[in-house]
Structure 1
Amino acid sequence: MLALIASGPALPAEMSGVLKTRTVVLIVSDGLRWQEIFTGADPELLNEKNGGIWETERELRREFWRTDPAERRQALFPFLWGTVAARGQIFGNQTQGSIARVTNGLAFSYPGYNEMLTGHPDARINSNEFGPNPNLTVFEWLNGLPELHGHVAVYATWGAFKDIFNVGRSHLPVQAGWDPPYRGTTSAREELLNRLYQSTTPLEDGDVYNAFLQVPLLDSLPAQQARVLFVGYGETDLWGHVGRYDQLLHSAHLFDHFVAELWNAMQALPAYRDRTTFIITADHGRGSGPVEWKEHGVKQKGSENIWIAVLGPDTPPLGERMHTAPVTQAQIAATVAALLGKDYRQAVPEAAAPIADVLR
């Protein structure tokens, strides 16, 4: 650890301590509301009129409805509440005095990802079609450190991440959108997935399905030995915009499964076991009620509210945070670096401070 700290800008002594984390994984489920995270399925939307569901209400309720909110959220997110909450921390339950929010004032994707990855909002970024990000992300900065160079990777369903991480400048390896994931000599299995990438009708032109992304992500773990990894899943936002609450719930449930699958796969490898921290969050919230749950932005009240969960060897197991100081999306960038013993704010002074409570 002394060698790690010495080779790059280090945290102040009172914050760095002796860190066990060797790999940090930042995971995002696009537009997944804090309401579902903390209370599970919304009873107002478990119907065709408000929730646009195609399956029967009885079927949907059998899978996701429980009278008690704690049991309901456990049914929807078994890994988040069975493992992350038991061994880590979760911020953002506004009914319990825990606030997590974005600070960019827009509450949609590109401004949110910029804030999350750079540590500060940028008023210039006011469109999802903004183009290459002019700002340095914490991922690009960490990749510039000798001991981390070549061990930073991005896997995401949304093609815009090639701009958000500015691959032309950063040269980060980014697997995003519908680009076939396997190159060069491929196995029959890899060639099959490449064909599926090329021949599947998309729900959204720029977004591949979460399940398609999961395969190359898991395949990469043994050889890539990533130290800093970004994983962006997009389906929860897509199904929200389509107005299909049944599919949103199924996608949210599968998101939880994919996070559990990634955690278990990494814990099974010696390079990652007991030395990996997950930060799990959303890029923005959504509106509420029978109509506005489908959208997000300045016109949909509450879209600025998000949630942040952290699980790893350096995070005290305080569980669901209650009556605690507010946290912001902008704090995530410096937190990623801090968990690796690095002080991102030395390079980007305008970045928000790390979330101190998730660091021992």
Structure 2
Amino acid sequence: MKLKLSILFFLLSGIAFAQKTENVILITLDGVRWQEVFSGADSSILNNPEYTETIDRTNERFWDASPVERREKLMPFLWGTVQNQGVIAGNRVLGSKVDIKNPYGFSYPGYNEILTGYPDPKVNSNDKNYNHNTTVLEFLNQQAEAAGKVAAFCTWDVFPYIINDKRSGVYVSAAGTFNPVTNSPEEHLLDQIEHSVPSLASGRFDFLTFYRAFDYLKNKAPKMLYLAFDETDEFAHEAKYREYLYAINTIDNYISQLWEYCQSTPEFKDKTTIIMVTDHGRGDKIKSQWTSHGEKVEDCRSIWFAAIGPDTPAIGELSQNHQNYQNEISATVAKLLGQDYQNGHEIGKPIDWIVK
């Protein structure tokens, strides 16, 4: 009788702790500093006319004496829903550290590290070279459970090369690509808009990336969806702090819409994990370097991540002393989908703050 009860307890325990995630949405916010994520708008930048137009109006929208209130104004979904139901890491003031491992501190090496788990020293430029490494997107697209259900929607026009769409077979929508896939009225309208509006220097506007991805999510129900936003980095390089703040705020709203849709749709409800991360940080010790990153900007190596989903414990903002790295994201994504991602290199381990 005791043996039967032990077996029953084991089976029930297995059910209780069974992994629930069936879909993952990975989102990158290019070059968003951990300083704004955890403390909101920086007053020394916000009140500098060299960086901020309409200072009074921007203060009214994003400023508060309390850093907690400031960050909630900037990213209400992150500091409301994710704070209460998920995990947020990277507040170095509290001892939570997240860093990049690649030596370069700019975009292509960062995205390669996020998507492959391997900080490849040979990936050392932002040139449009097809990635010789196998990303977790390509790996998942080769698995029976996710084949044909992996897609990426990206603002930056280098992403088809980073993901190596030709070799991987992953559907990649990026600036300059017009390959209809849903054939919905929304997709046709977005095609017309993208043809008619001017582009940013590095790609299309983020709203086109978001609404194309949202249309795909509704019509194709992918297992793995990747969204890569870029306006935050674009505006920071242009030293436009007001626009940088509004871009962060807008992306936070986009993520909220994705989460609300998933939680209201039976196919995704309580089966979807959203992970947010950035490819690099920006300068802060030398305040003028907030516009910059790269090997010569020491503190751009510090980043952050956040996650919400059925397998992620509701820890909220991490305050423990710990160290995580950018190269752990890809293995985490794979583990959430029940896969052991390997690509022939030594890669980061899954993040246990996100999935046990």
Q: Same fold (TM over 0.5)?
A: yes
2:311 aligns to what? 314
Matches of residues 1-360 of structure 1 in structure 2 within 5 Å? 18-51=18-51, 53-55=52-54, 57-180=55-178, 182=180, 187=185, 190-204=187-201, 206-288=202-284, 289-345=286-342, 347-360=343-356
1:11 alignment counterpart: none
Note if contact 2:209-2:227 (Cα within 8 Å) is conserved in structure 1.
no
Match of residue 10 from structure 2: none
Secondary structure of the 1:257 match is: helix
SS in 1 for 2:300: coil
Question: How far, CA to CA, are the matches of 1:314 and 1:295 in structure 2?
Answer: 36
Query: How far apart, in 1, do the equivalents of 2:182 and 2:138 lie?
Result: 26
Distance 1:141 1:203 in 2: 31
> In structure 2, do the counterparts of structure 1 residues 184 and 20 end up closer, same or farther at CA, with 3 Å as the change threshold?
closer
1:184–1:293: structure 2 CA closer, same or farther, 3 Å change rule? closer
Looking at structure 1, the residues matched to 102 and 181 of structure 2 have their Cα atoms a distance apart, in angstroms, of: 37
CA contact (8 A) 2:31 2:232 kept: yes
Q: CA deviation at 1:33?
A: 0.4
* Cα contact 1:50–1:291 (8 A) shared by 2: no
Structure 1 residue 348, shift from structure 2 partner: 3.8
Structure 1 segments unaligned to the other structure (5+ residues):
1-13
Alignment deviations for residues 53-94 of structure 1 (CA, whole Å, 9 cap, x no partner): 222x11111110010101110000000000111111111000
Following the alignment from structure 2 to structure 1, what is the Cα–Cα distance between the partners of residues 74 and 296? Answer: 28
Secondary structure, counterpart of 1:99 in structure 2: strand
SS of residue in 2 equivalent to 1:18: coil
Distance in 2 separating the partners of 1:216 and 1:119: 27
Q: Report the residue type matching 2:225 in the other structure.
A: L
Distance in 2, matches of 1:191 and 1:277, equals: 29
Conserved 8 A contact 1:98-1:321: yes
Q: Within 1, Cα distance between the matches of 2:280 and 2:48?
A: 25
**Alignment partners' CA distance in 1, 2:218 and 2:236:** 34
Which residue type is aligned with residue 268 of structure 2?
A: Y
Q: Which runs of 5+ in 2 are unaligned?
A: 1-13
Name the amino acid aligned to 1:54: E
Cα deviation, 1:289-344, whole Å, max 9, x if unaligned, reads 44100010111121101001010000111110012320000000000011112111
Spell out structure 1 runs of 4+ moving beyond 4 A.
183-186
User: 1:96-117 CA distances to partner (integer Å, 9 max, x unpaired)?
Assistant: 0000010001110000000110
How much is the aligned-residue C-alpha RMSD, in angstroms? 1.8
Q: Secondary structure at the match of 1:341?
A: coil
Instruction: Work out the CA distance in 1 between the residues paired with 2:44 and 2:176.
Output: 35
Amino acid at match of 1:25: I
> Judging changes above 3 Å, is the alpha-carbon distance between structure 1 residues 181 and 269 closer, same or farther for their aligned structure 2 residues?
farther
- Aligned amino acid, residue 53 of structure 2: W
Q: After TM superposition, give the deviation of residue 185 of structure 1 in Å.
A: 5.9
For 2:261 and 2:329, how far apart are their aligned partners in 1? 24
Could you tell me how far apart the structure 2 residues matched to 1:192 and 1:309 are?
Answer: 32
Q: 1:44 and 1:131, CA in 2 relative to 1: closer, same or farther beyond 3 A?
A: same
Counterparts of 1:186 and 1:309 in 2: how far apart (Å)? Answer: 32
* Distance apart, 1:357 and its partner CA: 2.4
Q: 1:145-169 CA deviation, whole Å, 9 max, x = no partner? A: 1111011111111111100000110
Instruction: For residue 330 of structure 1, give the secondary structure of its aligned residue in structure 2.
Output: helix
